[in-house]
Amino acid sequence: MTEALRLEDVHKSFGGLEVLKGIDLALQRHEVVALIGASGSGKSTLLRCINLLERVDGGRIFLGGEDATAPGADVNGVRRRIGIVFQAFNLFPHMTVLRNVCLGPVEALGIPDDRAHAEAEHLLGRFGLREKIGEYPDRLSGGQQQRVAIIRALAMHPEVILLDEVTSALDPELIAEVLEVIRELAEAGMTMILATHEMGFARDIAHRVCFLDQGVILEQGRPERIFSRPEHPRTRRFLQRIVAAGRL
């Protein structure tokens, strides 16, 4: 397999609080990695650093072998290659679904309007939203808005997609439709890192699971091992609480 992304000793602090304390992580093309851990463990900050929405304080991030954190690196160019989807959707409320999806490809990639529209219609149809093409976000359910947000990221033809707790803001009955989109992307070979509290889904979809605790990857491995035979005591305590809460 070919390496898509590599993090070497990545550090990030906010004021006096060190949130990431030396993260090393390599992601292969077509691999799906799930980040699990308690709230505040650094999962969202890690994804934002990978996308360069947050500048790292130490360490390096390589995308396709190129140092994305080198002085003078093309930050916008990196962001065009790494899609990120947030739990809050972040759709433009004054734009239709079609315009939300087409804006990036047209403005950032220079794709002609007719081609961008055709690709958007194809993606929206693929994920069951063709009939919503002319609607505005406030006319959609939360699950539909999140699917549009994922489609918007896909329309940029990214090398990697980052998913930051994309079901956390949804009602339980809407979670399944968003997870099904992610499952389809994984089966199609999309390279992804997802931070999630959906442990059963992470177990089923991920090739590898990383457990973060206080800004450190304490343990990583195949889902079947992490969830059934965790080696680190902190991982075991975390998963025991998850099981007790009926979430695994």
What would the pLDDT profile of 2-52 be if each residue is shown by its tens digit? 999 999 999 999 999 999 999 999 999 999 999 999 999 999 999 999 999
More confident residue, 245 or 9: 9
What pTM does this model have?
0.93
Alpha carbons 126 and 120: distance in angstroms, whole number: 10
Categorize the per-residue pLDDT at 248 as very low, low, confident or very high, splitting at 50, 70 and 90.
low
Alpha carbons 127 and 125: distance in angstroms, whole number: 5
Interval 105-119 mean pLDDT: 96
Q: What are 164's strand-pairing partners?
A: 195
pLDDT per residue as tens digits for the range 51-107? 999 999 999 999 999 999 999 999 999 999 999 999 888 899 999 999 999 999 999
Interval 139-157 mean pLDDT: 95
pLDDT per residue as tens digits for the range 222-241? 999 999 999 999 999 999 98
Report which of 77, 81, 124 is spatially closest to residue 102, judged by C-alpha positions: 124
Alpha carbons 25 and 225: distance in angstroms, whole number: 18
Question: What's the pLDDT at 171?
Answer: 84
Report which of 202, 195, 194 is spatially closest to residue 248, judged by C-alpha positions: 202
